[in-house]
């Protein structure tokens, strides 16, 4: 059995109030805890807590990609409010847009709240990095990444993270190995490392 590749992951919480200390940030701890449960790989986290400023968000994403983060997850700033600019800042640094991620996140959230249609999460590729905007609430972060299970524990709605490892394979990143009890990665048989 080979040792899993080590991976550098950027996690960015975007909030005016949390970055100014008005309230405690829950996004970064939620992202870090979920990824530590879901991945078997050794993870080097690059965490950032920043305000809702488009230029700063874009600069932070570029900095994390340049620092070698194969995956960058953001939380916050994806609604319709005037200060919500995360999707625009993410698209501004994109080389390719990956619309399926946002579509699936909204499908999952619609199972809980009709206002999920107000979410504007996007996912993009920049160089050899996948950048995904996640919802702001810790519960929603876990639901969109992991998907939804029925009462027997069988996957009812796939989470977006099931597609993340293969996407990172395709852009030349490290081979991510998931804990199937949390989130089973999907790869074509030809792409599975034996």
**pLDDT confidence of 1, banded at 50, 70, 90?**
low
Give 31-50 as a DSSP string: HHHHHHHHB-S-EEEEEEEE
194: pLDDT strictly greater than 80? no
**pLDDT given for residue 107 in this prediction:** 94
Instruction: Judge contact between 118 and 156, C-beta under 8 A.
Output: no
Q: What percent of the chain has pLDDT over 70?
A: 99
Which tens digits make up the pLDDT trace of 34-85? 999 999 999 999 999 999 999 999 999 999 999 999 999 999 999 999 999 9
Residue-wise burial string across 125-150, b where 16 or more C-beta atoms lie within 10 A, e elsewhere: bbebbbbbbbbbbbebbbbbbbbeee
- Tell me the average pLDDT across 85-109: 97
Top mean-pLDDT range of 12-21, 22-31, 92-101? 92-101
**pLDDT given for residue 157 in this prediction:** 87
Q: How many CB atoms lie under 10 A from the CB of residue 189?
A: 5
**pLDDT given for residue 3 in this prediction:** 86
Q: What single DSSP character describes residue 115? A: G
**pLDDT confidence of 156, banded at 50, 70, 90?**
confident
95: pLDDT strictly greater than 90? yes
- Tell me the average pLDDT across 131-149: 93
Smallest CA-to-CA distance from 9 within 143, 173, 134 is with 173
- Tell me the average pLDDT across 111-136: 96
**pLDDT given for residue 79 in this prediction:** 95
Q: Rounded CA gap, 32 and 15, in Å? A: 17
103: pLDDT strictly greater than 80? yes
- Tell me the average pLDDT across 10-25: 93
**pLDDT given for residue 29 in this prediction:** 96
Q: Rounded CA gap, 11 and 188, in Å? A: 28
**pLDDT given for residue 154 in this prediction:** 81
Q: Rounded CA gap, 194 and 190, in Å? A: 10
Instruction: Judge contact between 80 and 35, C-beta under 8 A.
Output: no
């Amino acid at each position: 059995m080979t040792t899993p590749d080590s991976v550098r992951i950027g996690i960015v919480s975007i909030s005016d109030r949390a970055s100014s200390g008005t309230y405690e940030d829950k996004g970064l701890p939620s992202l870090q805890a979920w990824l530590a449960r879901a991945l078997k790989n050794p993870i080097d986290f690059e965490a950032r807590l920043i305000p809702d400023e488009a230029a700063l968000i874009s600069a932070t994403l570029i900095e994390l990609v340049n620092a070698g983060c194969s995956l960058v997850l953001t939380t916050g700033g994806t609604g319709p409010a005037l200060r919500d600019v995360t999707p625009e800042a993410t698209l501004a640094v994109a080389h390719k847009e990956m619309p399926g991620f946002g579509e699936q996140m909204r499908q999952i959230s619609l199972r809980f709240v009709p206002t999920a249609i107000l979410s504007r999460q996007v996912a993009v590729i920049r160089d050899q990095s996948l950048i995904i905007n996640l919802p702001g609430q810790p519960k929603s972060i876990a639901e969109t990444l992991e998907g939804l299970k029925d009462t027997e524990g069988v996957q009812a709605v796939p989470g977006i993270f099931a597609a993340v490892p293969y996407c990172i394979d395709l852009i030349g990143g490290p081979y991510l190995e998931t804990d199937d009890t949390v989130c089973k990665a999907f790869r074509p048989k030809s792409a599975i490392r034996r």
